[in-house]
Amino acid sequence: MERKKVINEVEELVNTYCRECMVKKQLRLERGKTRAHRFCIKECTVGEQIINYGKYLS
């Protein structure tokens, strides 16, 4: 997979699922930005996909 295609895939995931994520918004209100970010990285399936794309780019 070429680098530009991977970047476009990540951008599409973020625009589709992350921008308006209600779980993230609620966690930010209740527990803060750090907890919401941790959720996105460790528990969200979309976050896992983004991490896998990131490994490809490294």
pLDDT tens per residue, range 8-53: 999 999 999 999 999 999 999 999 999 999 999 999 999 999 999 9
Q: What's the pLDDT at 58?
A: 84
Domain assignments of the chain as residue spans, ordered by start: 3-57
Give the DSSP per-residue string, 1-53.
--HHHHHHHHHHHIIIIITT-HHHHHHHHHH-HHHHHHHHHHT-HHHHHHHHH
pLDDT of residue 12: 97
For residue 34, count other CB atoms closer than 10 A to its CB: 10
Confidence check: pLDDT of 1 > 80: no
